[in-house]
Amino acid sequence: MKVANSLRSLKKRHRDCRVVRRKGRVYVINKTQRKFKARQG
């Protein structure tokens, strides 16, 4: 999982990426390609 300040560029890595909020943190998740994960902050 990558940790980044901004998730906009990480969301564009794959077309199935979604931005979700969990437990006060912002994540990028991908159901089809699970390697494209990221967390903000």
Provide, rounded to the nearest whole percent, the portion of the chain with pLDDT above 90: 98
pLDDT interval class at 15 (50, 70, 90)? very high
Q: Given a cut of 90, is residue 5 above it in pLDDT?
A: yes
C-alpha 17/C-alpha 32 separation (Å) is 9
> What b/e sequence results for 16-32 when a residue is b if at least 16 CB atoms lie within 10 Å of its CB, and e otherwise?
ebeeeeeeeeebbbbee
Q: Given a cut of 90, is residue 28 above it in pLDDT?
A: yes
Q: What is the mean pLDDT of residues 6-25?
A: 96
Neighbours of 34 (CB within 10 A): 8
**What confidence score (pLDDT) does residue 7 get?**
95
> Could you tell me which residue, 41 or 27, shows the higher pLDDT?
27
